[in-house]
Amino acid sequence: MKHRNALLLVILLALALTACQKTSDNLVVGTSADYPPYEYVDEAGNMAGFDIELMAEIAKRMDVKIEWQDMPFDSLIQAVQEGKIDASISCFNYSEERAQLVDFSDPYHTSEDAFIAMKDFTKKFTKAEDAANYKLGVQSGTMQDEWITEELIETGLMSESNLSRYERVDQAALDLKAGRIDILMADDVPAGVIASQDDDLEIIYKEMLYTGPINIVLPKGSADLQAEINRIIAELKAEGFIEKLAIKYFYE
């Protein structure tokens, strides 16, 4: 009898968990919900953020139901490529490497790169390349990671041993406070959130390097979906929807 109960439990659990599987009429959108204010989970455990709200509006106008699939940032491109998800919105900058693997929508927002340090940081930092003189931290797989790798390490300005790659920005911020790194490089919006939440940290330098426009990532050869999303992005820009969203999430 006990065995039968255990089996039943397994079956029920399996059913409950498969209930939220991909179905044909839903748009499965992947994101790495650990990057406030672009994407994060709110206190109620729901997805929230600039990207999330924007994508929800896009889906609404496409008249499809959205199904969120959270996964680590590093897994997203591959998941799109393999068709595990239909699209991904997770603060993706365009790059040629990425463009070989997936397609991009038109940009929906433009961001900058920021360098964060402790407030008592007094050393020289007047241009982006000065970062090469310090212990750096970055979220792995991001455009900032790529910039450091290509412009600082491969050019010989700094040694790779001085770079720490983190799975998430908040981990890097902790190490910054602990003194294991001197400078944290990140997209300026999440960098702004970190600096504003923590009195010890501040943004010491900002510049548009490899970042810039951010886009929705789509599988190769999804021209129809791409065209429709681009049309809606243009519509939302024209209506001022995106600007309002940016003010709500980035400047309030």
Which residues have C-beta within 8 Å of that of residue 140, sequence separation ≥ 6?
73, 74, 165, 166, 167
Instruction: Give residue 146's identity as a one-letter amino acid code.
Output: E
Contact window for other proteins (CB under 8 A) among 9-17, 129-137, 204-212, 240-248 = 9-17
Peptide bond before residue 37 is cis, with ω within 30 degrees of 0: yes
Query: Is residue 162 within 8 Å of residue 136, measured between CB atoms?
Result: yes
Pattern 80-109, binding to other proteins, x per CB under 8 A? Answer: --xxx-------------------------
* Site membership for other proteins, residue 165 (CB under 8 A): no
Neighbours of 62 (CB within 10 A): 15
Cβ closer to other proteins: 10 or 247? 10
DSSP 53: H
Contact window for other proteins (CB under 8 A) among 33-41, 53-61, 99-107, 147-155 = 33-41
* Site membership for other proteins, residue 33 (CB under 8 A): yes
Cβ closer to other proteins: 58 or 173? 173
Pairing type for strands 87-93 and 213-218 reads: antiparallel
SS3 95: coil
Cα 204 to Cα 9, 115, 123, 195, distances in angstroms: 54, 6, 11, 10
Q: Which of 8, 110, 197, 200 binds other proteins (CB under 8 A)?
A: 197
* Site membership for other proteins, residue 118 (CB under 8 A): no
Cβ closer to other proteins: 45 or 156? 45
* Site membership for other proteins, residue 44 (CB under 8 A): yes
Question: And the tokens for 17?
Answer: 């968990």
Q: Which of 174, 205, 222, 250 binds other proteins (CB under 8 A)?
A: 174
User: C-beta of 13: minimal distance to other proteins in Å?
Assistant: 5
Q: Which of 79, 136, 158, 184 binds other proteins (CB under 8 A)?
A: 79
What DSSP assignment string belongs to 173-223?
Answer: HHHHHHTS-SEEEEEHHHHHHHHHH-TTEEEEEEE-SS--EEEEEE-TT-H
Q: Could you tell me how far CA 14 lies from the centroid of its own chain?
A: 30
User: C-beta of 192: minimal distance to other proteins in Å?
Assistant: 14
User: C-beta of 45: minimal distance to other proteins in Å?
Assistant: 4
* Site membership for other proteins, residue 196 (CB under 8 A): no
Cβ closer to other proteins: 21 or 122? 21
Q: Which of 149, 164, 171, 230 binds other proteins (CB under 8 A)?
A: 171
